[in-house]
Structures are given as C-alpha cells and as structure tokens.
Structure 1
Amino acid sequence: MDKKSLKAVRKIAIAIVVLALGLYFIPIITAVFLVCGLIDVLRNDRKDWQLFSLYFMGNGMFTWLLSPFNLLVDLLSYRNWGVWKLEQFPNDYRREIDEVLNIFRTRQDEIIADIDANFESGRRGMYVYQWYGKPHIDNIPEFTRQFKYIRTIAVSVFSGRESTSFHFGPLRLTLRVLLNLKPVKTDKIFIECGDVKSYWYENPLFIFDDTLLHRSVNEHDGRRYCVFMDVIRPSPVPGVLSALLSFISISVDRVKAIFYKNWKMIDGSKAKAAAVK
C-alpha cells in the first residue's frame, strides 16, 4: 500500500472512531450535524469521493461544522445560483458592485503598480482595501467609504505557476466576486467551481458561492491579478445578514490567519503608492 492510500485509510479509520463516539455520547447533536452536512455537501455538482473526503475529513470540516448556520442563512436569502451572473442580483446590489468594479477598471494600471511596489515577490498576496467592512489601505479614497452590500474589497495576486488546491469557504453570508484585471489568452489560467471551468480571457468576471468546492489555477509564468470582493447574499432581510456578518467579523482576523496562512496580507494604511506616468 502506498503512502497516499495509507493516509486515506488512516483518515477513514479516525473518522469512524470519532463518529462512533459522537453517536454514543451525543447522538442527537451528532445526527443533526450529519444530516446538515449531507444536505450541505450535496449542493455540489460532482458527488464523488474527493468531494466527501475533503468536506468531512479534509479542508471542508470547518464548513461542515458551520453547515447548520449556513442552511439557516439559505432560508433567509433568495435563491442561491451557485455560480452567479451579475444580472441575477437585485438592481441596488448590481449598481454597487458595478460602481466598485468600474473604479478598478479605470484605475487598473495605478492599482497594479501599487501592488507590485508592495508585493515584489512571493507566492500569493492579498492587497486589502477593506476586510469585512473594516478599512485598511486608504490610497483609493473611493474604497474607504462604507458600502451597503460590499464587505470586502481587495486584490488577490498569484505569482507564476501558483494555484490553490480544491477547497471550501466557511460561510454563506456572502458571495465572492472576482474580476481578472489583466486576462491573458491562455487556458492555463482559470477558476473551477463544480462543473463550471471559467477561463479568465473568455470572461474576466466570475461570481460564485465559495462554500462550494472550487480552486483557482495559474499555470502561466506571469502574475495573475484578480479583484477580490465579498458581497452580502441577496435577501429579503439584508439587514439581518449584515448584522450577523458584523457580529462574526469581530473574530475575522483570527479566521483570516487560518484560511490565508499561505498568503502575504498587505493591509496597512501606510502601504507605499507607486507613481504611474
């Protein structure tokens, strides 16, 4: 048996023991989490071993533990399309998203120059203007104000030949909005969510529910720059979702350290700005 198979057998054995203990000592709670987890994970397109292994025994375990909460959020929200189009948002959401994206498009060269000045080398960088409503870098005044629906504004940077593995986001209070600022015509740069594999040069905008299994790939030699935004889920009670998100954001810096441990977070208000001619 090779190391990979041995590791898989070990994980399954540990999972069986933990499940047995849970069903014996706290059967109702364990059963609730199992049912919620199954409902949650079955939202994904590809129902294979990789999905269930990652969700219940891998990097999706935190998403599983939050599945009762996420399913409650689903009840408070409009239909979740999984992979979204901008026109599926209500008009006021769409206007706010468009406003910020257009600033990125207009000031693209300046923003990329700032990023390169502050992130000269490294695998992955996150240049943060706002993080869950808290302002950070302030050299673009339009990004410092409080938005009604947008909670995170940043730029994600991958160096050449840098990709994520398949993974799940933890919370379904928001949707992830990505815009590639410098799409290169190659099939080596894409994002994949379920059955959807989107190449940035074909469509620079990608919006999705990041609690679904996904990965982002850059097998190209050059850098990949993507606007990275979190937007509150469209809901008949957006104020409730906003309040829940505000409460959760109290501990978001600790969570950020866990989920972005492989990233260099550039979020100081004194980040140097590069002059663009």
Structure 2
Amino acid sequence: MSPPHRDEGDAGAEQAFATPGVAPMGRPTLWNRALMRVVAAVERLNVARAKLGNRTVYDTALFPWARDLEREWPAIRAELDAVLADRERLPAFQDILADVRTITRDDAWKVFPLGGYGVVSSRNIARCPRTWRAVRRIPGFRSATFSIFEPGKHLPPHRGAYNGVLRLHLGLVVPRERDKVAIRVGDAVRHWEEGRVLIFDDAYEHEAWNHSQEIRVVLFVDFVKPLRFPANIVNRLLLSLAVFTPFVREGAENLQEWERRHYPRP
C-alpha cells in the first residue's frame, strides 16, 4: 500500500522576479528587454492571485488527477525502458534548449522531449503513446519530457523562466541510494519515489542532484498554475505566446535537427 500523500507545502521561501535562471540570456534586444518587463509584472499578479497559495512544494492531494497519473506509472515506465535502450544517443538538455547552458554544460542531464508550448515531437510521441495520452489529461498541460540525471550530476541553484506554471515530476527510475538523490526547492528538500508524483513551483530557487552510482529518471511536466481572475486570463494569454519567443523557437529547431539525425528517413 502506498504511503499517504503528505502536506509538502513550504511557504517560507520568497519568489524573485525576472531573475537569472532558465531564461533568455545574452540577448540584449529591445524585444527581449520589453518581454522580460512584461513577464516580471505578470509574475507579481500571479503571486497575488494564486488559488492554492504560493508554496515551494505542493501537497499532491490538492490535484486529484495526480493519482490517475500515478496509476499509469507501469505503462510509462515500460515505454521509458525502451527509450533508455538507446540512452547514449539522447540529447543533453542544452542541445535542445541552449539557454540552459547557464546551469549545465556537460552531457549528464539528458532528455527525451515529447512536446509542449506549441512544439511536439511526433516521432518521440509515437514511441511513447501511453505517456503522451496520460500527460494530455493533466488540466492545463503545457509540456512533457523524460529527464535523465546521469550518476554524479548536480544541477546548481537556479529558478525557472516564469511562475505561471507548476512543475510535476513522476519518479520513474530512482537509485537505490535514495538519500544521495534529491531536489531542494526553497528550503524544502524532497526525494523522488518510483511511481509517485512530486509537484513544485520552479519559480523558487531550486537545485537537484544525483550523487549515486545509478541513473535517475523522472517524467518532467509543466502545467498551468491555478490562478484567480484576472491572472488566469493574462497567464494563459502569455503562455499562448510562448511559441513565438526565441527560447521556444530555437528549442523547436534544435529538436528537429536531433530528430533528423536520430530518425533518418529511408
């Protein structure tokens, strides 16, 4: 029997707005400066109008659909196992999203993207149809990828690009040395569990590490943060424009290039 879902909330940390992290870096254009000012203003509105408060880590009982995703764990794990058979050819995260070079430059954080923010990998989805169907049922779904930490990987403190989404990790492969594998969000430190969901706000400073001798894999999902009016409307409008940003456009081009190399046409 699974242990009960605990109250994971930690309201002690504070969000910083438009701070460095996984955000467009090194692009000193008027468009990007203006965009970041808009994002910072909307982030403040999102904090003020959050339906479930502004916690670092959320009690999954607040999201009843999380249980449904956990029930899909065996099927998702089976599809992942097939993907991992070709693990050495998977791209490093910065090979897809160049801006994450601000926090990672080695090949120890690999990803297998399915899609999100207006961009999909139809070939990757064809390999993981049960996973794709499961994540598409998440209310406010925005993106999904398999995220692989190689042994020894440590992701330094950083924050996400925007607080209008929450992040979900479904533990898929967790090393036996569980105490050596964790994520810190604000002051809250959590360990992944296979078949269990972890939901947190990556707009808070966070870091993650795998100091074990085995790989760690999670299903990495973004979904829309529950907000009250008018933040919910403004947030969805801003997220709908994400596909037009350099951050997403370049990621789509890099993903297409990786697909051309990985799935050569006959």
1:1-277 alignment, distance < 5 Å: 45=13, 59=21, 66-78=39-51, 79-89=53-63, 94-95=64-65, 97-120=66-89, 122-136=107-121, 137-139=124-126, 140-142=128-130, 143=132, 147=137, 148-186=139-177, 187-201=179-193, 204-237=196-229, 238=232, 240-251=234-245, 252-254=247-249, 256=251, 268=259
1:109-168 deviation per Cα after TM superposition (whole angstroms, max 9, x unaligned): 331321341544731111111222532122223416855411111110111111100111
Alpha carbons of 1:235 and 1:183: their partners in 2 closer, same or farther (altered >3 Å)? same
TM-score scaled by length of structure 1: 0.63
Alpha carbons of 1:170 and 1:151: their partners in 2 closer, same or farther (altered >3 Å)? same
Q: State the distance in 1 between where 2:125 and 2:173 align.
A: 23
Q: Please identify the structure whose Cα radius of gyration is greater.
A: 1
Q: Which runs of 5+ in 1 are unaligned?
A: 1-42, 273-277
1:183-204 deviation per Cα after TM superposition (whole angstroms, max 9, x unaligned): 2232111111122111224994
Alpha carbons of 1:267 and 1:241: their partners in 2 closer, same or farther (altered >3 Å)? farther
Equivalences, count: 214
> Aligned partner of 1:125: which letter?
K
Alpha carbons of 1:254 and 1:176: their partners in 2 closer, same or farther (altered >3 Å)? same
Q: Give the CA deviation at 1:74.
A: 2.4
> Aligned partner of 2:46: which letter?
V
TM-score scaled by length of structure 2: 0.66
> Aligned partner of 2:211: which letter?
E
Q: Give the CA deviation at 1:77.
A: 3.0
Q: State the distance in 2 between where 1:169 and 1:44 align.
A: 18
The SS at the match of 2:175 is coil
Q: Give the CA deviation at 1:266.
A: 9.6
> Aligned partner of 1:231: which letter?
F
